[in-house]
Amino acid sequence: MLSEKQLIQGCRKGERQAQKELYDCYAPMMMGISMRYCKSTQEAEDVVQEAFMKVYDNIKQFKGEGNLVFWIRRIVINTALNSERGKMYLFPMVDVRDINVHTEKDFSLRDYSFQDLLKLINQLPDGCRAIFNLYAIEGYSHKEIGEMLSISEGTSKSQYARAKQLLRAKLLKENRINYGNG
């Protein structure tokens, strides 16, 4: 198995074996990320394939200053967002001033398996799902999300609030909510 540095050098030279090893090493992790943004396994696989093509095409631009996995992750996220972009705007987005969210308590998702959470998140409308993933899971700010999706910061906040409200309602409906401090 090649080191990360060797993989990068091989991919820069267009070596198929290095590209295969890079894919085999990172694709499973990237598939998990892609599944959070896509409604089906097939869509997620398509996003991962397209993202890795972009990785191979642009690896010469990777300066090695940061972590390779984070660079690939960003490409996967952007590819997933671009794939979903057309679908997201089929759903109305409202600004934070126009939403009324009633929350008595925060709830904790610590006791849920990854598959359970993924299933719940995938039931969210596309816009809410993308913003929930970007904010709650990926750690982007609402300002960054607004820039990424060409929406206002307030719209990002309102969609995140709506996503939390919808998730809370689904958990309450399933009688599985676990109230706590997280």
What is the enclosing helix (H) or strand (E) of 107? strand 107-108
The answer for residues whose C-beta is within 8 angstroms of residue 121's C-beta and 6 or more apart is: 36, 129, 132, 133, 167
**Could you tell me if residue 91 is inside a domain?**
no
CATH code of the domain containing 10: 1.10.1740.10
Instruction: Please check whether residues 116 and 76 belong to one and the same domain.
Output: no
Instruction: Please check whether residues 144 and 173 belong to one and the same domain.
Output: yes
Instruction: Please check whether residues 74 and 112 belong to one and the same domain.
Output: no
- The residue out of 65, 85, 105 marking a domain boundary is 85
Is 135 or 180 the better-scoring residue by pLDDT? Answer: 135
Q: Identify the band that residue 182 occupies on the pLDDT scale cut at 50, 70 and 90.
A: very low
> Residue 108's pLDDT is what?
55
Instruction: Please check whether residues 115 and 61 belong to one and the same domain.
Output: no
Instruction: Please check whether residues 33 and 67 belong to one and the same domain.
Output: yes
Q: What is the domain count for the chain?
A: 2
Q: What is the pLDDT of residues 68-125, one digit of tens each?
A: 999 999 999 989 888 876 555 544 444 444 434 444 444 455 666 777 778 888 888 8
Domain ranges, residue 126: 96-179
C-alpha pair distances (Å), 23 with each of 11, 101, 114: 11, 42, 23
**Could you tell me if residue 106 is inside a domain?**
yes
Distance, in Å, from the CA atom of 2 to the CA atom of 26, rounded to the nearest integer, reads: 13
> Residue 111's pLDDT is what?
62
Six token digits for residue 149? 């999706």
Is 60 exceeded by the pLDDT of residue 177?
A: no
Instruction: Please check whether residues 101 and 171 belong to one and the same domain.
Output: yes
Instruction: Please check whether residues 124 and 171 belong to one and the same domain.
Output: yes
Q: What is the pLDDT of residues 35-44, one digit of tens each?
A: 988 888 999 9
Q: What is the pLDDT of residues 137-168, one digit of tens each?
A: 889 999 999 888 888 899 899 999 999 999 88
- The residue out of 85, 110, 129 marking a domain boundary is 85
- Which stretches within the chain are classed as H helix? 4-12, 16-37, 41-58, 68-88, 114-122, 126-132, 142-149, 153-173
- The residue out of 32, 53, 85 marking a domain boundary is 85
C-alpha pair distances (Å), 168 with each of 23, 104, 137, 142: 36, 11, 16, 21
**Could you tell me if residue 141 is inside a domain?**
yes
**Could you tell me if residue 90 is inside a domain?**
no
